[in-house]
Structure 1
Amino acid sequence: MAEGGLRDHVRGGFFRYAVDREWRVPHFEKMSYVNSGMLRNFVHAYAATGSIVYKEVVEEVLDYVNREASDGRLGGFYASQDADVGRGDDGDYYTWTPAEVDAVLTPIEAKVIKYYYGIESKGEMHHNPAKNVLRISAKPEDVARGLNMPVEEVLSIIDGGRKKLLESRNTPPTPFVDTNKYSAQNGMMISAYLEAYKFLVRDDIRDSALKALDILLASSYKKGEGVFHTYYEGEARIPGFLDDNVQMAMACLDAYEVSGHKLYLEAAEDIMKYCLDNFWDDERGGFFDTARTHGRFVRKPFEDVPTPAANAVAVIVLDRLYYITYEGRYRESSERTLKAYAGSAEESGHFASAYALALAYHINTPPHAVIVGKKDAPDTLRLLRAALGTYRPGKIVTLHDPGEETKLPYPASPDGRAVAYVCVPLGYCAPPTHEETQVEELLKTVGIE
């Protein structure tokens, strides 16, 4: 996916889906939920492998969303960007002929770019065979050998040439952007941004995510009433579906992890209480798609079509809340939800992927790093940074300031220094530590038999 036609190699981000089995020709629409999912996956790929290729993809997606698919002034993420600029434009905005490349770049730049992205006289687009979908068709080292150039020069030209191509297509008209701020899609993007922050250590990413969450909590959420479906032109509209509520609750938990602000934990608990009181199926377990106060129950979303199934997301949120608060209702509800679909999950195949992840999270208790210290103290922030930046899927990190909380989950250090406890919830804790390296090592190993 990083090399093929699904990735927009000029503007960044990913297109909606491919229309051929080789995944070379995409449907050129860009969806928020696609890019949040791809962002999260490539963040994890980078965290697990350290590959600079994956990191570059992550940064390109972030650049695209920041530039074209978000509200930089007020905060929040937009829904989608069209595949074209008007009738008769079948991907022309995103595809290139050799002549169009030659018109923008110098001769040597054009040679490198056409070699690297596979731009030839015959492209892939049926309506205009000269149009090429960009893809990485050769490694920079191969381009260097083929054109008898130093690799460093090739890399520099690729970077500069891409920027020139981007600039040449910035002149209106550009594909229309749907500026609805859907709660579910914003929740997914906020979570993906915060996941990227953990491993890229860029405060601007965190700040954009928290700004988006804060504006939606202020405008599209009411305590005891859940979230609205969308925020558009200054107005919160349509009562939220289950998906809107659980994805926003997930985003609140992610915000709580990186900030330590209890208001996010409280919002997550309130949203899930609303879901349990209004969406819950008392007879069979699991959640309906709509609240009982909004009319007849219609369906119970279980399969991923195309976003992660809301019931599976609800399970993960409930289990995370249970591991943080030890409130039994959360665990009981997550287990009943899993059991409600256990008999049919296998028949759904890969459409039950989110269910499988939720089941794995439920069965395999994640490690929990509890940081106790003054929230803005350098030693506290070092321990928090170490915990957040350690790659262990599913881990939980919470920050507790003795000056703000009267009841701490674990004791503060007698000497006032920040201290970390790495535990298996309802299991055991490793000895407390003040060292970042030990926090990292414990998070990688605690609970693994």
Structure 2
Amino acid sequence: MTTAMKTHNEIHWADWSPDTFERARREDKLVLVDSGATWCHWCHVMDHVTYEDANVVDLVRCRFVSVRIDRDRNSELDAYLQRSVPVVRSQGGGWPLTVVMTGDGHVLYKATFLPPRADARYGATAGLIEVLTSLEEYWRRNRAAIAAAGEDIRRSLAGTLSQAYSRPAPATADQVGLVLAGIYAEYDETHGGFGREPKFFNTPALELLLERGWQGDPRSLDIVVHSLESMARGGVYDQLAGGFHRYSVDARWHVPHFEKMAYDNAALLGLYANAWSLTGRPLFRSVALHTLDWVRAVLLGNDRRGFYASQDADLGPGDDGDYFTWTAAKFRDALGGQDEQLMASWYDVDDAGDMLARPGRNVLHTPKTLAQQARMMQIGEEELKRRVEAGRRRLLQARLERPAPAVDRTVFADLNGMLIDACLTAWQRLGRNDARDDALAALDALLNDLRDGRGVFAHYRDECGLRRVGALADQAWMLRALLHATAATSEDRYLEAARKLADYVLAELTESDGAFRNLPAGATGPAAVPPLRAWEDSPVRSAASVAAQGLIDLAHLTGQTRYGQAGRRALDSLTGAVSRQWGAFLAGWAQAVEQALRGPRTVTVIGTPADPIARDLSDHARRTYVPGGYVIAIDPARNDHLALLAHLGYQANNRPLAYVCRSGACLAPAHSADELRQRLDELKRAGAD
């Protein structure tokens, strides 16, 4: 639990632990659980409005045992509570999550934000005081019925889970088609993206569609292009500094919730970089570059020992994105009399503003394309681009002089795996060597700082040492990062670390039917968090799909087929539950299934970096988007590259060459960048078959 989440109220929050639930049973009290995060706007509001209310404080301290959870540090526990089915009622999930439980661990009630009392300003017909008072009275009158209902819910959930995994069979392309049909059905043809407001990015679905676009499916590529352009022009994208806010409150991607998350920006950095490679659209390159710049400036410490977790939306309870938004007067002042009308038109700034709760504050967005704006203003596109960029820099400099929202400087293994992978993708597609250097520096630090003696990653480290060692999400995303680093450097030490992780996943996180669980088994009791089999993407790819694909890739890089067999078996374990209604939520699973069905795609360049032909081959291969593919550059003069050369089965040649392979079958070697371009075109045509 972070210091920021412990302060600002008088409630004595306890940690989630067996002792806490034992205390609740001993004192004959219910347990009030608050799960939130340092970046969460409404968590801050509830802290200030509700948990500092004197009547709430008296009620909770006298009649309840109160528990506070930092959902970023205890993500599996938060996921368990979000999925839980309460005995009485539920108002959905999200943050802050407000849960009332019995001392035996039964979930009685679940809600999100609650003011102290009924309050029309928040659309609340009941407040926390009324809810807690009513629940306590109900519990004291109906203990036996509540306990019986809680056990029935547990058995029902266990039965549903068992049924979902009871019909494993080989995953098929038809099932991938079901997922795609669900994605197409959710597509917003007007604004791009999927579903209605509030609108989240759903990058796994867009990644799957981008792969389909690479294979020659125009419908899928059109959806990706439309969605990425709409997101990039909206206020959900930080038009000045780069990087994306967590989601849009409207369907148009206009007004966001302003927190910025490592996981969103990792996924979107890689997606925009790959989309730039495939489509050549300058907007996608610009967004990727600026997002990378924001990641390096805000989420990476000067010591490069890992990436941070998030940036808050606000400076305090009365704030709502003020750091990121502008009044028309402040906007004009920042420009200093230069191109005020042009910039106001470009970013759609006026005196009325965009935010209902904050009249007069503008969320910068670009409703017109560069070409449309240039035609409207009757100037050339290059001149407009130059003047807009100059104005953007002036506005950014003015914003940097404001007090900035806090950054959560915790280094989490799973988030770092995502950002290391994304930065290596940005290095490849955009030619940014600084992104590669940062990624490898962070990876080396985590290998030293966040592993136990078995080579297994903890979720994070604090003053007490390693915390929450062994969760699937941390192992899966770090496995992905290690495999990408292996391809980027050809150094066997990264491959050896990946093998250790894979062996742990197979030994400790794999069920008898091949499915992955999110935690090691073993803990029991009311405070125990039961392991879950979670395949759905929310909001990034599920750890299970990342682990399965990582194992399949590892089998190719090591020649050890047991890893690939385990990855495919895990994918097959879900086939009994796949249906069209899951749609976009199983896009990560569908990506991994496609990888398993088609086999790995690799480009292996063999030659010394000093040779210009070898450099040209490597550079061209890295710039080219190949879905799920690795580009491996091996220097036969380096001893630490020889193990990977042997695993892949290639031999050094007296001149540089590149092998383009799919499922172990290779095209004719390429000896120049032009020949490599031809081979990659052949690979793409084969992917469309």
Short-chain TM bin? over 0.9
Within-5 A mapping of 1:205-216: 205-216=435-446
Q: Distance in 2 between matches of 1:366 and 1:44?
A: 18
Match of 2:265 in 1: 35
Contact 1:421 1:431 in 2 (8 A): yes
- SS of the residue aligned with 2:569? helix
Contact 1:278 1:291 in 2 (8 A): yes
Match of 1:348 in 2: 582
1:396 CA displacement: 2.6
1:177 CA displacement: 0.1
Q: Distance in 2 between matches of 1:213 and 1:265?
A: 13
Among 307, 312, 328, which residue is 1:82 paired with? 312
Task: Please say if 1:359 is aligned against 2:593.
Answer: yes
Deviations 1:115-149 (A, max 9, x none): 00111121221222211111102334444454455
Match of 1:4 in 2: 234
Match of 2:621 in 1: 387
Greater Cα offset, 214-223 or 381-390? 381-390
Task: Please say if 1:163 is aligned against 2:396.
Answer: no
1:175 CA displacement: 0.3
Match of 2:283 in 1: 53
Greater Cα offset, 255-264 or 178-187? 255-264
Contact 1:140 1:155 in 2 (8 A): yes
Q: Distance in 1 between matches of 2:624 and 2:659?
A: 15
Match of 2:675 in 1: 438
Deviations 1:314-341 (A, max 9, x none): 1110111122223121121112111111
Q: Distance in 1 between matches of 2:611 and 2:554?
A: 26
Aligned residues: 445
Amino acid at match of 1:393: P
Among 656, 659, 669, which residue is 1:418 paired with? 656
- SS of the residue aligned with 1:92? coil
1:387 CA displacement: 2.2
Instruction: Please provide the CA RMSD for this pair.
Output: 2.1
Q: Distance in 2 between matches of 1:178 and 1:133?
A: 24
**Counterparts in 2 of 1:183 and 1:444: CA distance versus 1, 3 Å:** farther
Task: Please say if 1:287 is aligned against 2:516.
Answer: yes
1:348 CA displacement: 2.2
Higher relative contact order (CA 8 A, sep 6+): 2
- SS of the residue aligned with 1:226? coil
1:246 CA displacement: 0.7
Match of 2:81 in 1: none
1:421 CA displacement: 2.2
Task: Please say if 1:323 is aligned against 2:323.
Answer: no
Greater Cα offset, 333-342 or 284-293? 284-293
Q: Distance in 2 between matches of 1:109 and 1:87?
A: 35
Q: Which runs of 5+ in 1 are unaligned?
A: none
Q: Distance in 2 between matches of 1:43 and 1:223?
A: 36
1:418 CA displacement: 2.3
Contact 1:386 1:437 in 2 (8 A): no
- SS of the residue aligned with 1:381? helix
Contact 1:179 1:232 in 2 (8 A): no
- SS of the residue aligned with 1:257? helix
1:422 CA displacement: 2.1
1:219 CA displacement: 0.8
Match of 1:15 in 2: 245
Deviations 1:72-126 (A, max 9, x none): 3233211000001112111111111111111111334211111001111212212
- SS of the residue aligned with 1:2? helix
Task: Please say if 1:397 is aligned against 2:631.
Answer: yes
1:62 CA displacement: 0.8
Q: Distance in 1 between matches of 2:519 and 2:340?
A: 54
1:232 CA displacement: 4.9
Within-5 A mapping of 1:21-420: 21-147=251-377, 149-222=379-452, 224-232=454-462, 235-282=465-512, 284-292=513-521, 297-346=530-579, 347-374=581-608, 377-403=611-637, 404=639, 405=642, 408=646, 409-413=649-653, 416-420=654-658
Amino acid at match of 1:439: L
Deviations 1:167-192 (A, max 9, x none): 11223521000001111111011111
TM-score by length of 2: 0.62
Contact 1:316 1:361 in 2 (8 A): yes
Deviations 1:8-47 (A, max 9, x none): 1112100001112222111000000000111111111101
**Counterparts in 2 of 1:369 and 1:239: CA distance versus 1, 3 Å:** same
Contact 1:420 1:434 in 2 (8 A): yes
Deviations 1:274-308 (A, max 9, x none): 111111112x2111111236777521121112221
Contact 1:8 1:14 in 2 (8 A): yes
Q: Distance in 1 between matches of 2:595 and 2:435?
A: 26
1:235 CA displacement: 5.0
Amino acid at match of 1:420: A
| Structure exhibiting the larger radius of gyration computed from Cα positions | 2
1:206 CA displacement: 0.8
Q: Distance in 2 between matches of 1:151 and 1:392?
A: 32
Q: Distance in 1 between matches of 2:347 and 2:255?
A: 14
**Counterparts in 2 of 1:145 and 1:50: CA distance versus 1, 3 Å:** closer
1:198 CA displacement: 0.8
Q: Distance in 2 between matches of 1:350 and 1:431?
A: 38
**Counterparts in 2 of 1:221 and 1:137: CA distance versus 1, 3 Å:** same
1:377 CA displacement: 4.6
Q: Which runs of 5+ in 2 are unaligned?
A: 1-230
- SS of the residue aligned with 1:37? helix
- SS of the residue aligned with 2:576? coil
Contact 1:256 1:265 in 2 (8 A): yes
Q: Distance in 1 between matches of 2:301 and 2:523?
A: 30
